[in-house]
Homo-oligomer: A and B are copies of this chain.
Amino acid sequence: MRITALAGGVGAARFLRGLRRAAPDADITVIGNTADDITLHGLHVSPDLDTVMYTLGGGIDEQQGWGRADETHSVAEELAAYGAHPLWFTLGDRDIATHLVRTQMLAAGYPLSAVTEALCDRWQPGVRLLPMSDDRVETHVVIPDDDGQTRAVHFQEWWVRMRAAVPAERIVLAGIDAATPAPGVLDAVADADVVLLPPSNPVVSIGPILAVAGVRDAVAAARAPVVGLSPIIGDAPVRGMADAVLRTIGVEVSPAGVAGLFADLLDGWLVDSTDEAYVAAVEEAGVRCRAVPLWMRDVEAAAAMAAAALDLAAAVRGART
């Protein structure tokens, strides 16, 4: 079975670890968000790709959900002593090695997809990890400045430094118009037996991937069932601050609100067991919906969620034939 998943960071990575357990023989392709990539201290950092790679490769800091296990912070201490900035984005020493390899390969002319493949040679994540695009796309957040005007900051600055507490007026995907899908992305969608949308941030993780030229159309046209998992339980995100970006784009912070964002794509949608109340509304919009436990407490819980998503995909497929 060929499974293709669109992925953000922590939530997607943990879900994918469950998926690998739920479908050990599946051929899994992961299309990763790169719109929150950022250049720090001259290094090209790809937070979402790395979170997926480290999590599936056994190198993740389990507690944090991002960054490396057994991490040290000598470089960051020294950068602070030099007065270098920014320092609000923590780069651990082990993590920096990844960015050094990536930055050097990019400077040598390799596309990000080739770099990602080379990095995965070491980590053996058990999935094929593709960046959404080899072109640079950056999510910028437009916020009010002190003079009653607005200014745009990199998504990471808004998310990490400002903890998404400053109201975002607009979210801009800089570079998206010129971005084309990385090699293999469109085929992975077209050839899949199941397409999954893990419980990632719908606006700044799944959104940029779908915004790359041709990707949303490919998902809409996929012969495979498209099944997603709500990143919202009740009226709050499972993790992170997805509510802030949903409000920015005027979408209700609910499992049904997020389903509505993807209504043209979805065949199936999973909401949490406590959100049974939303099932009818989602089904009325033409999307098969089930309520199952969506708290990823551990790998077993993530595997059960993945199994439920695959079950729903099978049910959708069965109903078609």
Q: Is the CB of B100 within 8 A of A42?
A: yes
User: Does A88 count as interface, using CB distance less than 8 angstroms?
Assistant: no
User: Does A1 count as interface, using CB distance less than 8 angstroms?
Assistant: no
Q: Which residues of B contact A75 (CB under 8 A)?
A: 75, 93-94, 96-97, 100
* A 119-133 binary contact with B (CB < 8 Å = 1; else 0): 101100000000000
User: Does A319 count as interface, using CB distance less than 8 angstroms?
Assistant: no
Q: Is the CB of A74 within 8 A of B71?
A: yes
Of A42, A84, A104, A121, most B-chain CB atoms within 10 Å: A42
User: Restricting to A95-111, which residues have a CB under 8 Å from any CB of B?
Assistant: 96-98, 100-101, 103-104, 107
Bound-complex Cα distance A98 to B119 (A)? 25
User: Does A284 count as interface, using CB distance less than 8 angstroms?
Assistant: no
Q: Is the CB of A74 within 8 A of B77?
A: no
Given the known A-B contacts A74-B72, A74-B74, A107-B42, are A79 and B93 also in contact in the complex, defined by CB atoms under 8 Å? no
Bound-complex Cα distance A72 to B79 (A)? 15
Bound-complex Cα distance A205 to B61 (A)? 45
**How close is A311's CB to chain B, nearest CB, in angstroms?**
38
Given A41-B101, A42-B107, A77-B94, 12 further pairs, Cβ under 8 A: A41-B100, A42-B104, A72-B72, A72-B74, A74-B92, A75-B96, A75-B97, A75-B100, A78-B97, A79-B97, A82-B119, A83-B121
28 contacts between A and B (CB under 8 A): A41-B104, A42-B100, A42-B103, A42-B104, A42-B107, A71-B74, A74-B92, A74-B97, A75-B93, A75-B97, A75-B100, A76-B97, A77-B94, A78-B94, A78-B97, A79-B97, A79-B100, A79-B101, A81-B97, A81-B122, A82-B97, A82-B119, A83-B121, A83-B122, A84-B97, A84-B100, A93-B93, A96-B96
Q: Chain A: residues with CB nearer than 8 A to chain B?
A: 41-43, 71-72, 74-79, 81-84, 92-94, 96-98, 100-101, 103-104, 107, 119, 121-122
Q: Which 6 A-B pairs have the closest CB atoms?
A: A78-B97, A74-B93, A42-B104, A72-B74, A75-B97, A93-B93
